[in-house]
Structure 1
Amino acid sequence: MLTADPLLTTEQRDIAAALDELCDRMLTADYLTRADREARYPSEVMAALAEAGWAGACVPVDCGGSGASPAELVVVLETLARRSLTVGQAFFSMWLLGSEAIDRLGTAEQRADWLPRIARSGANVAFALTEPGSGSDAAALITRATRDRDDFVLEGQKVFITGAAIADTIITAVRTSSGEGGKQSGITTVMVDPTAPGVEIRKLDKMGIRGLDLCEVFLQGARVPASAVLGEADRGWQGLTPGLALERMYLAALCVGALRGLVEECSAHALTRTSFGRPLASHQLVADKLVEMRVALDTARATVKQVVALVEADHPTAVAAASVAKLHASRAYVSACREAVQVFGGYGFTDEYPVSRHYRDCKYLEIGGGSSEIQKIVIGRSMGFRL
């Protein structure tokens, strides 16, 4: 396949082949269409992934997982997103993001409790940071946790929380002190039981990635034990920031995978569909769109590979490079989706083909995990600009 990564190692090719075999069996066109139309979580696919050990790829070996490297996890995400951005996003949001935070910040008891559960059965961990009044200024949160003997009592609201309705725990950022040292101080992350009294979860209707819910989380007197604090109290922001490069790198990998699937869909359609007695791909204007999509795919993948190398080397430029990768890859995917609708013509505006699903799904990746505007600020500051 011309769109495959030619530089995968033998082990990485084996990862992609094993996932492709599972996707061939389960992610049929009919299944994906129904999951999208019904806004239904692909629980059967996620259960199969967990049973086959893929949730364990997110978990270190000493906690029952296989301890996949960042490079291997990028291959997992690209391979899954090529077939279904919803499944790829679920792998990232519900397993990878939470396991990384628990492994890095958790106590010995928290690691021993949660990481094996993720590895064995695919326990779902959601992440609640954004609030209605903060948006991209995530550190401006006002949800408060007040100490009451051995507990914290939570009051506030979170919004745009991926997977909260299916989560087994929600890592939640709250304010535990006044933040006199600036808005980034006085923040603590706690692990909240979504079924606890005082926790209410409401799903939001949205235009894309319909199979993975986006929620509001209301905290009204919800109590969590002090043992549920993840990381150091009042220094939660400092605990969150080291994971940003990884998060943005993995989101860029999802863009690459989804873009690859889109290029393959468009190429197959253009080679078989005829117009004026010739295949669409024989028309220069259509061929030009497909070539530009291929260039966008290859360059996006290259930026992700660069970030992987920098992350694995613990290089100080990794954070800015991850922002470059996410900005470029998400923009490339969104642009390609717009052109893909043109390639399919009137059919691209219907749900008969998956192009319309790509068109609805893609925009999320320019917003989630730090909007494109935030990525530009990160990049600009790395260049010495006072932004």
Structure 2
Amino acid sequence: MVDFRLSEEQELIKETARQFALNTLLPFAARWDEEKIFPTDALRQAAELGFAAIYIDEAHGGVGLGRVEAALIIEQLAYGCPSTAAYLSIHNMANWMIAHFGTEDQRARWTDDLSSMKKFASYCLTEASSGSDAAALKTRAVRQGDHYILNGAKAFISGAGDAGSDVYVVMVRTGDQGPGGISCLIVEKGTKGLSFGAQERKLGWHSQPTATVNFDDCAVPVSNRIGAEGDGFKIAMQGLDGGRLNIGACSLGGAQFALDKSLDYVKERHQFGRPIAEFQATGFKLADMATDLEAARLLLYAAAQKVTDKAHDATQYAAMAKRLATDTGTRIANDALQLHGGYGYLMDYPIERILRDLRVHQILEGTNEIMRVIIARKLLG
């Protein structure tokens, strides 16, 4: 395991992200949720601090931080708004894939605009018939001269829609069935044959659009392929280690907010002539919430360091951290709602929004059932 005493620089990074969350995200998060606003101005302000290119090399327009620093940033942003922080995580992953695996020409075409969030990015892997079994995806790209012709659809795509992302990092089948037949293409908004389904009606994550992305004889230049043919699955899996850490960090930030609100509430709420904070059952519940949150946080930081170091067990630890952080975050948010009683169920209080936003983290970037499969396989060799 890794000893996690944050450095002075890491503490500064954490505090910068926290102040941004408190000043720019938290005051508006409830309205973004209620009115389903995609907060592009706030996202671009985040990009000014480097939060749209966290772990992209400085030589390629990023800030060149490691995965621990990324987790610190995303966690603090999620304290202000888990939904918006989660979109930033997805955008970072898509931007990193282009910067890390792309050519100099491709980086010149896209990474500057993505790092400033002049343009927004989405990541397209999931399909309606291949969620957990990502290697079974069916969206096909057939090469015709200097273009690929795409046909198929991607489901549950964050940022998708006419008012959403400008750049779509898409995993497509260019060869035989299985992981080796998958390639990665960049599809830009406005490409003929690219269209979007209706906006999904969701439990949470209301500050980011979500829709199906459709490809109908969509012609994409071969120069938009990231890596060689057949590299797509490898690129996708490398991206997912970091994505899992970031979604875990989102859960930690939302859970910390829920815990802090609960600590305030139990001191103010009186029953039977005294604050409910004085009841042992309340104290025990809060103690468990705080302990579980800290345990999940430490495992996430350890996993983030392993991913940064490219450790042999990095994927196992990323899966462990994602599973624990997202399960713990949802449970803490639910416990916070219970401590608030009937008020926790009302939209006048923020706890129900946090619970709605955190619940999906147990599903995306690989369900927590799939995380258990990954961990078990690693343990059993």
TM-score bracket, normalised by the shorter chain, equals over 0.9
* Aligned position for 1:76: 73
Distance in 2, matches of 1:300 and 1:8, equals 16
1:273 is matched by which residue type in structure 2? R
* Aligned position for 1:339: 335
Q: What CA RMSD, in Å, does the superposition of the two structures yield over aligned residues? A: 1.7
* Aligned position for 1:236: 232
* Aligned position for 2:244: 248
Please report how far the alpha carbon of residue 325 of structure 1 lies from its aligned counterpart in structure 2 after TM superposition: 0.5
Q: What whole-Å deviation, never above 9, does each CA across 1:102-158 have from its counterpart, x for those lacking one?
A: 122111111122222222345312110111111211111111111111111111111
Structure 1 counterpart of 2:185, from 187, 190, 215: 190
2:332 is matched by which residue type in structure 1? A
Secondary structure of the residue that 1:344 maps to in structure 2?
helix
Of stretches 263-272 and 113-122 in structure 1, the one that deviates more from structure 2 is: 113-122
Q: Flag the structure with more relative contact order, 1 or 2, with Cα contacts below 8 A and sequence separation at least 6.
A: 2
Structure 2 counterpart of 1:85, from 64, 82, 85: 82
Structure 2 counterpart of 1:48, from 30, 45, 49: 45
Number of corresponding residues: 376
Structure 2 counterpart of 1:158, from 151, 154, 157: 154
Contact conserved, 2:151 with 2:216, CA < 8 A, in 1? yes
Q: What whole-Å deviation, never above 9, does each CA across 1:305-356 have from its counterpart, x for those lacking one?
A: 2112222322111100111101111111111122111100010111111111
Distance in 2, matches of 1:362 and 1:73, equals 19
TM-score normalised to structure 2 length: 0.94
Q: 1:56 to 1:246 in 2, by over 3 A?
A: closer
Secondary structure of the residue that 1:351 maps to in structure 2?
coil
Distance in 1, matches of 2:250 and 2:34, equals 22
Please report how far the alpha carbon of residue 28 of structure 1 lies from its aligned counterpart in structure 2 after TM superposition: 4.2
Structure 2 counterpart of 1:218, from 210, 214, 217: 214
Mapped pair 1:360 → 2:352: no
* Aligned position for 2:6: 8
Contact conserved, 1:197 with 1:222, CA < 8 A, in 2? yes
Contact conserved, 2:53 with 2:115, CA < 8 A, in 1? yes
Contact conserved, 1:131 with 1:141, CA < 8 A, in 2? yes
Distance in 1, matches of 2:101 and 2:305, equals 24
TM-score normalised to structure 1 length: 0.93
Please report how far the alpha carbon of residue 241 of structure 1 lies from its aligned counterpart in structure 2 after TM superposition: 1.9
* Aligned position for 2:126: 130
Structure 1 counterpart of 2:196, from 201, 212, 217: 201
* Aligned position for 1:271: 267
1:11 is matched by which residue type in structure 2? E
Structure 2 counterpart of 1:114, from 104, 110, 117: 110
Please report how far the alpha carbon of residue 255 of structure 1 lies from its aligned counterpart in structure 2 after TM superposition: 1.4
2:86 is matched by which residue type in structure 1? Q
Structure 1 counterpart of 2:96, from 81, 93, 100: 100
Indicate the percent of aligned positions where both proteins have the same amino acid.
Answer: 29
1:25-64 equivalences under 5 Å are 25-29=23-27, 31-64=28-61
Q: 1:32 to 1:106 in 2, by over 3 A?
A: same
Q: What whole-Å deviation, never above 9, does each CA across 1:243-274 have from its counterpart, x for those lacking one?
A: 33222122212211111111111111112222
2:89 is matched by which residue type in structure 1? F
Distance in 1, matches of 2:281 and 2:125, equals 44
Please report how far the alpha carbon of residue 168 of structure 1 lies from its aligned counterpart in structure 2 after TM superposition: 1.5
Of stretches 233-242 and 135-144 in structure 1, the one that deviates more from structure 2 is: 233-242
Distance in 1, matches of 2:95 and 2:376, equals 30
Distance in 2, matches of 1:15 and 1:360, equals 28
1:90 is matched by which residue type in structure 2? Y
Q: 1:383 to 1:59 in 2, by over 3 A?
A: closer
Distance in 1, matches of 2:285 and 2:334, equals 10
Secondary structure of the residue that 1:209 maps to in structure 2?
coil
1:175 is matched by which residue type in structure 2? R
Please report how far the alpha carbon of residue 240 of structure 1 lies from its aligned counterpart in structure 2 after TM superposition: 2.0
* Aligned position for 1:3: none
Q: 1:353 to 1:215 in 2, by over 3 A?
A: same
**Unmatched 5+ residue regions in structure 2?**
none
Contact conserved, 2:60 with 2:99, CA < 8 A, in 1? no
